[in-house]
Amino acid sequence: MALKPIDNALPLPQETAKFGANEESKTASLPPPPADPIIDYISSENLEPIPDPESVIHGLVEELDSKNWIKVCESLNNVRRFALYHSLLLMPILEKVMLVVVKAMKNPRSALCKTSIMASSDIFKVFGDQSLDSTNNAFDSLLLQLLLKASQDKRFVCEEADRALNEMVKSMTPLSLLNKLRPYVRHSSPRVRAKAALTISNSVSKMGLEGMNEFGLVSLVQMAADLLSDRLPEAREAARNIVTCIYEAYTRNEEQKQESWQNFCQSNLPPIHAQSMVKITSSQ
């Protein structure tokens, strides 16, 4: 009896080869996927005013929340233009705008992340303390994201976040900023602690003894003492700079500088920390 062919029998080797060649030919003939568009990172100096800002401002927050990331980048640049040239129009919606900037900063797409960081720099530059006082929750979220981005491995994002943190220090009064930065010296990430310590150091360098006392001189010294034993050398170096700034402000009008400083440290710190403080400033 003749055997009937099986419908689902495996193809012969030559048929398999022919099938594979056909598929490769089809794949080769497909057009390549479109490349991501190139994003221009425009410096603040090269941004221009918006021709009709009143009509653009009404849809700004909605455009910032678009699903199209290219559109979001364009809108972030509009935020920068509003901040630089039309700040009175931006002020009433600043908190909403900052929250959407934070959302864009969390995006894994580097171009979107960097553009949002650039927007935060221009917001700090123009609004200064207003970006903190009138947008408390939004500022807290933005500060955390900047510290995280400044701590990551993508160099061009990290460098942009460093610039934003420096602009923040330059534009804001130290006392308000220190109160916001204080929790991050105990962050679980050593890189975040180091960035926070550096930002605190830059803020403290702008303060006199009166401002330090208003913040809490003992608290400031204890914070620096804790950072002196941190894991990363960047945090330890920032702590040494903080100690030097405090010492110079504290002893500016003191006749017995080193003795007065030593007594202050011994009264407010554990012996090992007090010894470290005195050692740092002994050559001043």
Q: Is residue 21 situated within a structural domain?
A: no
Q: Where are the beta strands (DSSP E) in 41-112?
A: none
Q: Helix (H, G, I), strand (E, B), or coil: what is residue 176?
A: helix
Q: Is residue 24 situated within a structural domain?
A: no
pTM of the model: 0.84
By C-alpha distance, which of 84, 119, 83, 86 is closest to 100? 119
Q: Helix (H, G, I), strand (E, B), or coil: what is residue 42?
A: coil
Tell me which of 172, 190, 220 is where a domain ends: 172
Q: Is residue 153 situated within a structural domain?
A: yes
Clarify whether residues 154 and 191 are in a common domain.
no
Q: How far apart are CA 282 and CA 244, in angstroms?
A: 10
136-170 per-position pLDDT tens digit: 789 999 999 999 999 998 899 999 999 999 999 99
Clarify whether residues 164 and 184 are in a common domain.
no
Tell me which of 172, 198, 223 is where a domain ends: 172
Highest mean pLDDT among 2-6, 33-37, 265-269: 265-269
Is 80 exceeded by the pLDDT of residue 231? yes
Clarify whether residues 92 and 167 are in a common domain.
yes
Q: Is residue 239 situated within a structural domain?
A: yes
Clarify whether residues 141 and 200 are in a common domain.
no
Q: Is residue 109 situated within a structural domain?
A: yes
Clarify whether residues 166 and 58 are in a common domain.
yes
Q: Could you tell me which residues come within 8 angstroms of residue 74 by beta carbon, excluding any fewer than 6 positions away?
A: 63
Clarify whether residues 130 and 91 are in a common domain.
yes
Question: Domains in the chain: how many in total?
Answer: 2
Clarify whether residues 213 and 152 are in a common domain.
no
Is 60 exceeded by the pLDDT of residue 114? yes
Q: Is residue 23 situated within a structural domain?
A: no
Q: Is residue 151 situated within a structural domain?
A: yes
Q: How far apart are CA 68 and CA 59, in angstroms?
A: 15
Q: Considering the chain, what percentage of its residues have pLDDT values greater than 90? A: 77
> Residue 259 is part of which domain span?
174-284
CATH code for the domain in which residue 225 is found: 1.25.10.10
Q: Is residue 245 situated within a structural domain?
A: yes
Tell me which of 110, 137, 172 is where a domain ends: 172
